[in-house]
Amino acid sequence: MRILGPDTLVFGVEDVESCATFLADYGLTPKGDGAFEALDGTGVIIRHKDDPSLPNWTLPTANQLRKTIYGVEDRAALDEIAHELGKDREVKFLVDGSIEATDDAGFVLGFQVSVRQAPTLAAEQVNAPGDARRGLNVAGSPANCDEPPPLPRTLSHVVYFVPDTDKAEAFYVNRLGFRVNDRFTGMGPFLRPQGTLDHHTLFLIKTPPVMQGCDHFTFHMGGPSDVLRAGYAFAAKGYESFWGPGRHRFGSNWFWYFNSPMGCHIEYDADMDQLDDAWVPRVAPAIAENSQEFLFQWRETWAPGGPPPKQS
């Protein structure tokens, strides 16, 4: 099943206005009717939590990711998914041509022919002794300190809190063709669908039932400097850094997480490992040393010779 990855995340929220401001400040482009998009057309939709157009919320937490809409390669892939899931659960055929069903953990899923259009921007380049990738007379840092921060390029992955990771994993692997690329023992697997080489588009974390919901979601940036520049600008607007900046060990992606008004965290990430079916999944305990290769701590900037930064 050629599932490419998540196209759109649909949230029910208490305060639509604050969430809209937050997503625009994060770098997504408002498209009207609660939709916010990255450069490739993937994105987030926000609705008031009582909006009747949203799927019903039956899970116990206030964290209301109401629907994860996956993009697929073509109509044949959509028909294949509908046939498979229709064997044991209701599959709704919506007027926009997409389909909808519920996974074994209770999350509502949508599937559509993908909206994503790959951005034409070049990837971030580096110069190293013996291998100058960026090239001669090309500056790696913007000369103008007023240049706007880089924009998110594509929806990367979503992370679910679930009480039974074995059951949830079996659904995605056996019914939708996802592959386990790595695993944290006692926590859960990193999963990717067949239509992408990204290390993961879904990560499952074992939690008590009262915590079930979305832990975080993230968009890919153009490289590690993009993560740092975008995160730095976001923090400067007053948004609270939760974790990072740093670099993960499994997936290798650079990260910077922030608290959000949507009841979960949001992340900037970049430079994720690309893997095919020859990759041998790793298994490691879920400890800090395995979660992050290194971790910085953000604080306010200061210039040499000026007053030292404030200590929190």
Assess if residue 149 is contained within a domain. Answer: no
Assess if residue 91 is contained within a domain. Answer: yes
Confidence (pTM): 0.93
With contact defined as beta carbons under 8 Å apart, do 206 and 162 qualify? Answer: yes
In the prediction, which pLDDT does 8 show?
Answer: 98
In tens, the pLDDT along 146-161 reads: 889 999 999 999 999 9
Neighbours of 302 (CB within 10 A): 11
Assess if residue 40 is contained within a domain. Answer: yes
**What percent of the chain lies above the pLDDT cut of 90?**
79
- Torsion region of 305: left, alpha or beta (phi above 0 gives left; psi -120 to 50 gives alpha): left
Report d(CA 152, CA 268) in Å as an integer: 8
List phi, psi (to 5°) of 179.
-120, 140
**Range with the lowest mean pLDDT among 95-104, 160-169, 183-192, 280-289?**
280-289
In the prediction, which pLDDT does 143 show?
Answer: 79
Residues 117, 120, 121, 125, Cα dihedral to 10°: 110
In the prediction, which pLDDT does 303 show?
Answer: 60
- Beta strands, E only, 91-198: 92-93, 99-102, 108-113, 127-128, 131-132, 154-162, 179-185, 188-192
Q: What is the enclosing helix (H) or strand (E) of 142? A: none
In the prediction, which pLDDT does 288 show?
Answer: 82
CATH of residue 45's domain is 3.10.180.10
Q: Which residues have CB under 8 Å from 250's CB, separation 6+?
A: 182, 184, 190, 199, 282, 284, 290, 291
CA 47 to chain centre: 19
| Tokens linked to 29 | 């482009």
In tens, the pLDDT along 15-48 reads: 999 999 999 999 999 999 999 999 999 999 999 9
Residue 301 has pLDDT above 90, yes or no: no
Q: Which residues have CB under 8 Å from 105's CB, separation 6+?
A: 160, 162, 163, 164, 167, 168, 171, 212
Output the average pLDDT for the chain.
Answer: 93
Residue 62 structural domain: 3-117+154-295
Mean pLDDT on 99-111: 97
Residue 238 has pLDDT above 70, yes or no: yes
When divided into structural domains, the chain yields a total of 1
Q: Which residues have CB under 8 Å from 196's CB, separation 6+?
A: 3, 4, 5
Q: Where are the alpha helices (DSSP H) in the chain?
A: 16-26, 75-85, 165-170, 224-236, 288-291
Assess if residue 19 is contained within a domain. Answer: yes
Assess if residue 236 is contained within a domain. Answer: yes
Residue 312 has pLDDT above 50, yes or no: no
Closest CA to 200 of 183, 214, 221, 225: 183
Q: Which residues have CB under 8 Å from 155's CB, separation 6+?
A: 5, 6, 7, 8, 9, 38, 42, 43, 44, 217, 218, 219, 220
Is the torsion defined by CA of 218, 224, 226, 227 positive or negative? positive
With contact defined as beta carbons under 8 Å apart, do 180 and 137 qualify? Answer: no
Work out the end-to-end distance of the chain between its first and last CA atoms, rounded to an integer number of angstroms.
49
Assess if residue 62 is contained within a domain. Answer: yes
Assess if residue 264 is contained within a domain. Answer: yes
Residue 295 has pLDDT above 90, yes or no: no
Name the amino acid, one letter, at 263.
G
In the prediction, which pLDDT does 4 show?
Answer: 97
CA 127 to chain centre: 29
Assess if residue 197 is contained within a domain. Answer: yes
CA 291 to chain centre: 16
Report d(CA 85, CA 69) in Å as an integer: 15
